Amino acid sequence: MLSISPAASEAIRDLVAASDLSENAGIRITNRPGVPGTLDLSLVPEADEADETVEGQGAAVFLDDKTLDAQRHGEQVAFRIVERDGDQNGDGVAS
């Protein structure tokens, strides 16, 4: 499970306070469309229906519906975030 550090929660709270959004706003983490392995963070008013919400110390992070995947290459492991609906290539297209 994702946790929010004290420094991250303070930064998120400051961003929300400086915005025109309600105190229910938070940071949403999504895959950047068309750029596999790249994440986007954005300040949003609330979680989407499929998001998982992680809260800590007065801050909220919304994670879109993704799965953490791993591929082994010998003794090394490469992690990536893929679509939960079956996208095993990390390109946004279900396999």
pLDDT of 93:
43
Assign 41 to helix, strand or coil: strand
Closest CA to 64 of 87, 39, 95, 94: 39
CA–CA distance, 3 with 94 (Å, rounded to integer): 29
**C-alpha angle 1/69/7, rounded to 5°?**
35
pLDDT, mean of each 10-residue run, the chain (95 residues)? 86 94 91 78 91 91 75 78 56 44
What is the per-residue pLDDT for 35? 78
What pLDDT sits at residue 80?
67
d(C-alpha 25, C-alpha 17), whole Å:
9
